[in-house]
Structure 1
Amino acid sequence: MRKFVTIAALGVAMAVTGCSKSANSDGPVKREAGNWKTEVKLVKFEVPGMPEEMKAGMKQMVEGQSGMDQCFTQEQVDKEDIAAELAKEGSGNGGECKWSKKDVAGGKIDVAGTCTANGQTMDMAMAGTMEAKKSDVTITTKGKIPTGDDMEMVMQVVSTHTGPCQAGAATKS
């Protein structure tokens, strides 16, 4: 089960660390520097035949990523580049994503593609909104788990600017 979770985690990582944003309504919207809090909700998790206790464990693991605070400096947000993030997403985890759609403009995100990690291939789609002080992205992951069964997972990742950086908040590297 951990193998296919890795691919979904790639999408969460991208949403959590921020889709780069600029003030131009035709281009990406620029994130505001400061402290960002992220909430993750498992909306749907279906694997035929999986015991309910395993599904509950998966929900707990995914939603356990909620409440994370990250500090983004002005320099960091100025350098953010979603195209570059999408291009390298997954490569650091021994995986790779090929994006068939990368529409990130005017406060909207609509991205789709196929990601491969740990020998598994999954279809991934991300759709939502991005504003200077909030992003709300739904990530849908579909594919086959090692047993050959179909799997579908839908997560909602909401990141909100909460003000100046807080002491103890992780700084994005």
Structure 2
Amino acid sequence: MTFRIMALLALPLAASACSPDAPVKRQAGSWSQKIEIVKFEGKGATPETKTQMQKMFDAMSTMSVCLTPAAAAKEDMGKAMEQMSARGQNCTFAKKDVTGASIAIDATCKQPNGGTVKMMMTGTNSATAQDMTMKTEGFAANGTQEGTMEMHVKSTRNGECKPTDVTPPEAPATGPAPAKP
């Protein structure tokens, strides 16, 4: 179980913290994010690796992302969590409260090697700011804990999109592949 896998499973949840049942949706505009690694322990978790990852997150915090109105309208954390299993991440949720200004998630995802990743996230969500703590714990197939990573993620809307913002491409539509003629 690598820390990269644990981070990759947790970050998309933070990036789309909203729900179809909630009036709370991120407002379109220029968004920045600050990620702090609070805890980094386990197999392969050297101080050098933690420093390298923190430097990567710090570099990312210097960039702002343009959240377009179309992208903001499509954000749906509840749907993103439901689709985790469809994407082969085989996750079950003990807690999935994403229906308002508070967020609380507790999920366990089975890995192809027989291990599991447990993800917990708590925090607050508004149209212009998010403040969350995410914790991931990796376990080997025999149940032995292999590592823990805890991150504090703060996202803030900084006004309208700017020409220097990164604008991600629109996500492709999901569904069956088109039939060949």
- TM above 0.5, one fold? yes
Alpha-carbon deviation of 1:136?
Answer: 0.8
Question: Does structure 1 residue 78 correspond to structure 2 residue 73?
Answer: yes
Question: Does structure 1 residue 130 correspond to structure 2 residue 130?
Answer: no
Equivalent residues of 2:39, 2:148 under 8 A apart: yes
Matched with 1:104 is 98
Q: Secondary structure at the match of 1:171?
A: coil
Structure exhibiting the larger radius of gyration computed from Cα positions: 2
Alpha-carbon deviation of 1:8?
Answer: 2.2
| Higher mean displacement: 95-104 or 31-40 | 95-104
Q: Distance in 2 between matches of 1:51 and 1:95?
A: 27
Residues 48, 6 of structure 1: alpha-carbon distance in 2 compared, 3 angstrom cutoff: closer
Alpha-carbon deviation of 1:63?
Answer: 4.3
Equivalent residues of 1:109, 1:130 under 8 A apart: yes
Matched with 1:30 is 25
| Higher mean displacement: 128-137 or 26-35 | 26-35
Equivalent residues of 1:12, 1:157 under 8 A apart: no
Normalization by structure 1: what TM-score?
Answer: 0.79
Question: Does structure 1 residue 20 correspond to structure 2 residue 18?
Answer: yes
Q: Distance in 1 between matches of 2:118 and 2:147?
A: 10
Alpha-carbon deviation of 1:62?
Answer: 4.6
Q: Distance in 2 between matches of 1:96 and 1:67?
A: 34
Counterpart mapping for 1:1-173 below 5 A: 3-16=2-15, 18-20=16-18, 27-47=22-42, 50-89=45-84, 92=87, 95-117=89-111, 119=113, 120-144=115-139, 150-167=146-163, 168-171=165-168, 173=170
Q: Secondary structure at the match of 2:61?
A: coil
- Percent identity of equivalent pairs: 34
| Higher mean displacement: 38-47 or 112-121 | 112-121
| Higher mean displacement: 73-82 or 103-112 | 73-82
The number of residues matched between the two structures is: 167
Q: Distance in 2 between matches of 1:136 and 1:108?
A: 10
Richer in strand (by share): 1
Alpha-carbon deviation of 1:89?
Answer: 3.3
Q: Secondary structure at the match of 1:8?
A: helix
CA offsets 1:17-53 (integer angstroms, 9 cap, x no match): x21257xxx8351211111111111011112685433
Alpha-carbon deviation of 1:88?
Answer: 1.8
Q: Any stretches of 5+ residues in structure 2 without a counterpart?
A: 171-181
Equivalent residues of 1:38, 1:159 under 8 A apart: yes
Normalization by structure 2: what TM-score?
Answer: 0.76
Equivalent residues of 2:33, 2:154 under 8 A apart: yes
